[in-house]
Structure formats: C-alpha cells, structure tokens
Amino acid sequence: MDEIRKWKNLCKARDMVEILNKKYFQASYVQNTDEAKKKLFNMIEEGSTVAIGGSVTLSEMGLVDILRNGNYKFFDRYQNLPFDPDIVDIHRKALTADFLLTGTNAITKNGELVNTDCTGNRVAPMIFGPKNVIIVAGINKIVNCLEDAFKRIKEIAPMNSRRIRHETPCAETGTCVDCDCKKRICNFTTIIHNGIKFEGRIKIIIIAEEIGY
C-alpha cells in the first residue's frame, strides 16, 4: 500500500474514532493488525475469562490461537464439540465473560454499530452481559448511514453463509433472497446507538486497513 493510501486510511480511521468517542464509546485507531493485537491484549488482564463472537477479522488476526495458548480462561467456541448443546453452553458462558472480543458488520458515520446474527450469540453479549466488549474493525466496515449498513450486511451474508457451511440459497447463488430456511443466518439484527448506558464498557479499535468481511 502506498503512503498516500495509508494516510487516507488513517484520516478515515481517526475521523471515525472521533465520532465514536462522542457517542460514549471508548474508541481508538491503529495502523495495522499487529498494532491492534498489541493494543487489544494490553486491555485484557491475565486470568480473565474471554469469549469470542464469530468474526473473520479476529480469525485473520490469529486471536483464537493466542487465546488458547495464553494465560486466559477462554470460552472456546471453535473447539470440536460432539453436540449442538455443548456449543450453545459455551455461547451462554460468553454472557458472563470478563471480555467479549468481536468484530462488527458495519459502523455508520453517525457512530452506530449494526450487526446481524444467526443465533444471537454475538449480538446479545455485545448489548449486555460481559463486563467489557472489545470490537475490532477495519475501515471497510465504515458506511455512511443505517441504510448502507443494512445493504452491506445483505451483500456479505452469502460469504458468511458459505464460510460457515450453512445450506442456504445465498451460499449457492451468492445473492441474498431473504430466505426462510432453517439454516438462515440473518435472524437477529441489532443497532447499538451509543455507549452511554455503561460508559467505557464497549471499546472499539479501528484498523486503518481493510480486514474481514
């Protein structure tokens, strides 16, 4: 990436952070994923309970392996478990975690966080439960308004559906058809308008690069 693009991305990240902080989130920006990892783990005390919400961004950063091999009590949703109830139990534990780490589907220029889930195990603890929520997002998640956020979610839904191997029409066609099949991944949509209720609980790291879906 040339220096002019890096500069433009940093400006975009800086401006977004300013907006988010005015909405009572605790936001900051970094240049790249290495800086994001360093900042993130400086926020998490050793021995803390930690959960992850499904996130391509965090997967691309290699956070699962770091948490597995670190001094944390990790509620590991990615381990091979024999039955769905076992996975659901981990999702429930995530609601009690000291830290939830996750990405976000979209951030509007008004400072709103917009997300759509299959099960709700990501959006629910973002809203309430864990003591701290740390959201990591690339500049590709920034959109102008709520309408653009919903449009973005529809555009990336087929990729997420195919990634997690859900048997949905969009996983075959690449286009959302607003299906009603059992494996539908777009079941719960939330908008976090601000962080004022529990000020400082939601921390947001904006990476001045494109990462994740």
Tens digit of pLDDT for each residue in 153-187?
999 999 999 998 999 999 999 999 999 998 999 99
Summarize pLDDT for 5-58 with one digit per residue, the tens.
999 999 999 999 999 999 999 999 999 999 999 999 999 999 999 999 989 999
- Domain locations along the chain: 3-207
Residue 202, pLDDT above cutoff 80:
yes
pLDDT at 96: 96
Classify the phi-psi angles of 43: left when phi > 0, otherwise alpha if psi is within -120 to 50, otherwise beta.
alpha
Q: Kindly list the distances between the CA atom of residue 213 and the CA atoms of 59, 70, 96, 156, 210, in Å, as whole numbers in the listed order.
A: 11, 27, 27, 6, 9
Summarize pLDDT for 85-99 with one digit per residue, the tens.
778 889 999 999 999
CA 158-160-162 angle, to 5 degrees, is: 70
How much of the chain exceeds pLDDT 70, in percent? 98
Residue 82, pLDDT above cutoff 70:
no
Domain 3-207 listed as CATH 3.40.50.10420: yes
